[in-house]
Amino acid sequence: MKFNVETFRFEIEIIKIMLCTLPYIGLTLGESIRKIVLKLTGLYEMEKNKKYLYCAILYIQAYLEFGFDYDVLFDKVINELGYSKEEVFPKDFYKADKVKLNKSQVRSMIRKWKPGNKSTIAEVVQDIITKVKLHQEGIYYYVNSGTKKDIGEMDITSDVYELVINKSECYFHDIRRKKYFTFDD
């Protein structure tokens, strides 16, 4: 019987929301998720309770949806449950899109840019490209509200984008659409 991670969509989204706080305190998403999976695997080995492995699968799914490549350390979890990688994580569940670091591809990550914003869409696209190319570590926000509002003043209709760059990771998050993008060199 195939394990369907989509039956746990709500839980996966909660995990992703929780994990998004890690960059704010200087922890990387990818490494942190791998450590969580290792801890859950260790708990399984001590207690022989497969619920730890099923929980690990949800973290692995979140990892893939953040745009990280499948890690062979996850094979142990899947094999222990008697599944194959293809059964649990078919390619269509990998949610992050990889985009090339050029103006048209970066522009495609952003919804229709409203006039009246603090920056033009061309300035935003160039800012993203520059920060990624120079690997300027930090968490950057872009607000598309049609007004000159800052992140703290946005309203429910604003599109908010987050660019996260740290030592080992770089991704772009469309917060409103819950969509992640990684950059292809």
Q: What is the pLDDT of residues 10-51, one digit of tens each?
A: 999 999 999 989 988 889 999 999 999 999 999 999 999 999
Q: How many domains does the chain have?
A: 2
Domain boundary among 72, 93, 114: 93
- Answer yes or no: do 73 and 130 share one domain: no
Please check the confidence at residue 92 and state whether its pLDDT lies above 70: no
In sign, the C-alpha dihedral spanning 48, 51, 54, 56 is negative
Structure tokens at 157: 């209709």
pLDDT in tens, 109-123: 998 888 888 889 999
- Answer yes or no: do 73 and 12 share one domain: yes
- Answer yes or no: do 89 and 111 share one domain: no
Domain boundary among 47, 67, 93: 93
Report the C-alpha gap between 89 and 110 in whole angstroms.
27
Upper half-sphere CA count for residue 24 (Cβ side, 13 Å): 7
Residue 146 pLDDT: 62
Domain boundary among 93, 120, 151: 93
- Answer yes or no: do 33 and 105 share one domain: no
The predicted model gives 147-175 an average pLDDT of: 76
The predicted model gives 124-135 an average pLDDT of: 96
The answer to whether residues 99 and 67 touch, using CB atoms and an 8 Å cutoff, is no
pTM of the predicted structure, to 2 decimals? 0.68
Give the domain extent around 70.
5-93
- Answer yes or no: do 53 and 101 share one domain: no
Buried b (16+ CB within 10 A) or exposed e, 49-66: eeebbbbbbbbbbbbbbb
Please check the confidence at residue 154 and state whether its pLDDT lies above 70: no
Report the C-alpha gap between 170 and 132 in whole angstroms.
7
- Answer yes or no: do 85 and 107 share one domain: no
Burial of 156: CB neighbours in 10 Å, binned 0-12, 13-18, 19+: exposed
Please check the confidence at residue 96 and state whether its pLDDT lies above 90: no
- Answer yes or no: do 79 and 45 share one domain: yes
